[in-house]
Copies of this chain bind each other. A is one copy, B any other.
């Protein structure tokens, strides 16, 4: 197991994701003024941050991949028990904590992971 290093680019990207209200795409991260590294490096940093359990991937139904800070991760296997909300007005993707419905599976099916994405209008846009 190799040791992870604390580089400037990595810190900047983690801060960016941490401070963001919405989950961010690799592209949004890449084009932030704060981020100066290469495109490939951005992807590699995102990979590492995931492996370290600091961020998680969110895939919405439109196939867009975003990254969000982990705040209530249950364990290192990263079975996120929260819902992702995709606002159709402001496009933000938010993690809704404390919203884990129990899924009832048919007989003989075993569950290891649940991903729930809800589309609608968020509180800000509804206000």
Residues of A within 8 A of B (CB): 57, 59-63, 65, 83, 85, 88, 96, 99, 101-123, 126-127
Contact = CB atoms under 8 A, between A and B. Distances in A.
B113 A118 contact: yes
A88 B101 CA distance: 22
A121 B109 contact: yes
Closest 7 CB pairs of A and B: A108-B123, A113-B119, A101-B101, A111-B120, A110-B121, A115-B117, A110-B120
Output the residue of A60, A102, A103, A112 with the most chain B CB within 10 A: A103
Nearest to A96: B106
Contact of A105 (B99, B102, B112): B99
